[in-house]
Amino acid sequence: MPQLQARIHQIQALLKDQHIEALLEVIEQLNIADQAKVLADMPEKQQFEVFSQLQQRSLVLEFMPLPQQLALVIQLPTSELVHVLDAMHSDDFIDLFKALPSALQQQVLPQLSTVSTDVLAQLASYVEGTAGSIMSSNYVTLSPDLNMNEAITALRNLKDNHDTLYLIYIVDEHHHLLGVISLREIIQAHPDAIIQEVMTHDVVSAEVNNDQEIVARTLAHYDFIALPILDDAGRLLGIVTYDDAMDIVEAESTEDILRAGAIAPFEKQSIKTAPILSLYKNRVFWLVILVFGSLLSSFGIANYEDIIEQNIVLVFFLPLLVGSGGNAGSQSATLMVRALATGDVQLKDWFKLIARESLVALCLGLTMAFAVSILGYIRGDHMVALVLAISMTGIVILGCLIGMSLPFILNRLKLDPASASAPLVTSICDATGVVVYLFVASQLLL
C-alpha cells in the first residue's frame, strides 16, 4: 500500500501538469484493480481521457462500480464500445449491457460477436436476484473419458478467457454435470489415469432460480472459489465465483444498512451521483410514516394530562425514559436482523430467544432503574424515585422484546426484517414507554 500511495501521488502530479502519456505509463504498471481505483478517483474531465487510452479497458471496467462503468462507456464510439463489451467476462458484460440506454443497446447489439450474443440470449433472461442473473459462462468443461495427458492438451488449446481454469467441470454429451476436478489433481495424477477415476463425483451446486443470497452463503459455507449452477435437469448452465459472492454480500449488507436507517435502497446508483429527486424519494416515505408514528406518544401524553399537571417533575424524566426504551429496542432489533440475515437464527428459535432476551432485558432494566432512581430522589422524592425505577424496568423490558420480535414478525410476513429499522422500533418504543411511565405514575402518585 505505501508503494501504491506513492504511485497515486505521482499520478496526481502528472495529471495536474497534463502529462497524459507519462501518466498512462505509470498507470499501466499498476495491478488492474489499482488501475480501476486510480481511475475512479480522478476528476470526471480527465477520467474518460485516460480510460479511452488504457490497454486493458475491459478488465479495468470490471473492477469499477456499475454507475462509473456506464458513465465511461457511453462516451465511447459505438465500435469501441462493442470491442470493450466483447472482451468483458460474461457476468460483467450482462450487467453493463442491461444498464445501457435502450437506444444504445439497439445500436450495439447487431455488432456484438456471436459469443456475446449467445451469452446475452442465455443469461439476460434470468430474473434479477437469482443465481442465473449473476452466473458466468466463462468456465471450462472436459469429458470424463479423457486421460490426464489429453486433459492437459485440451486445456492448453483453450483460447477464451475463463474465470476458473483451476476448477474444471466434467460433463457428458448432454452437458449434465458429472463431477469436478482441479488443475492440481490433473497435474499430479498419473498421465494415463482417466478423469472419471480421479474427479470428485459428489459436487455441491445450486439451481438457476435459487436466490443469489443463498448462493453466496453456500460459497462462504464451503469456502469454494466457484459454485456450479444447474437447471432442473442437472445440466450445467454457468458458475458463480467467489468475487461475485462478495459483491452480493456487499450489496445485501448495504441494502440492510439503508433499510435499518429507514432509507429505500438505491437502484445501481451511488450517493455521489444519485439525483436529488432520488435521494428525496428514497427517504421521504419512512419519514412521513414515522411522523404519524410519533403521534402515538402525543396521544399517550394527552391521556395523562392530569398526572403531569400535578407532578410537573415527571416531564423532566420523560425524554430519558422513552429514549432508553428506544435505545434498548434498537439494540435488540439490530442483533436479530443481523442474526436472521446470516442464518444464525430462524423463526423456530423465537420462543427460546424470547426467554433469553427477557432475562437480559430484566438485568439491563434493573441496572438502569437503579441509576435513574437516584436522579429521581434528588430531583423529587422517594415516590418519584420508585416511579422511575419501576417505569425504567418495564420500558427497557418492553423495548427489548419489541425490538427482538419485530424482525421475526416481518420475516414471518415475508417482508424484509431489515425494515424493523431503528427509527421504526424507536417510534413504537417511544409510544409504549410514554404509556408505561405515565400509567405507573398515575397509580403511585395520585
Dihedrals phi, psi of 404, to nearest 5 degrees: -75, -35
**H helix intervals, 343-380:** 350-379
Q: What pLDDT is attached to residue 281?
A: 76
CA distance 388 to 377: 9
**Other beta carbons within 10 Å of 382:** 10
H/E element, 11? helix 2-16
Q: Give the angle 30-32-36 at the CA atoms, nearest 5°.
A: 95
From first to last of its 446 residues, the chain has per-residue pLDDT tens of 556 666 666 777 776 666 777 777 777 778 888 888 888 877 777 788 888 888 888 888 888 888 888 888 888 888 889 998 988 887 788 888 888 888 888 888 888 888 888 888 777 778 888 888 888 888 889 999 999 999 999 888 887 655 567 789 999 999 999 999 998 999 999 999 999 999 999 999 999 899 888 888 888 888 888 899 998 889 999 888 887 778 777 777 766 666 665 555 555 556 666 677 776 777 777 777 777 767 777 777 888 888 888 888 888 888 888 888 888 888 888 888 878 877 788 888 888 888 899 999 999 999 999 999 998 888 888 898 999 999 999 999 999 999 888 888 888 887 777 665 667 788 888 888 888 988 998 888 86
CA distance 273 to 240: 29
CA distance 372 to 394: 13
User: Which residues fall within 8 angstroms of residue 251, CB to CB, at 6 or more apart?
Assistant: none
**Other beta carbons within 10 Å of 377:** 16
CA distance 368 to 26: 60
What does DSSP say about strands 177-182 and 167-171: parallel, antiparallel, or unpaired?
antiparallel
CA distance 284 to 277: 10
* Cβ-based burial of 232 (10 A; exposed 0-12, middle 13-18, buried ≥19): exposed
229, 207 Cβ separation under 8 angstroms = yes
- The domains of the chain, with CATH numbers, are 2-125 (1.25.60.10), 140-251 (3.10.580.10), 276-445 (1.10.357.20)
CA distance 418 to 257: 8
For residue 187, give Cα distances in angstroms to 57, 150, 163, 385. 33, 11, 19, 77
Q: What pLDDT is attached to residue 146?
A: 93
pTM: 0.60
DSSP letter for 211, please.
B
Could you write out the three-class secondary structure of 387-444?
A: HHHHHHHHHHHHHHHHHHHHHHHHHHCCCCHHHCCHHHHHHHHHHHHHHHHHHHHHHH
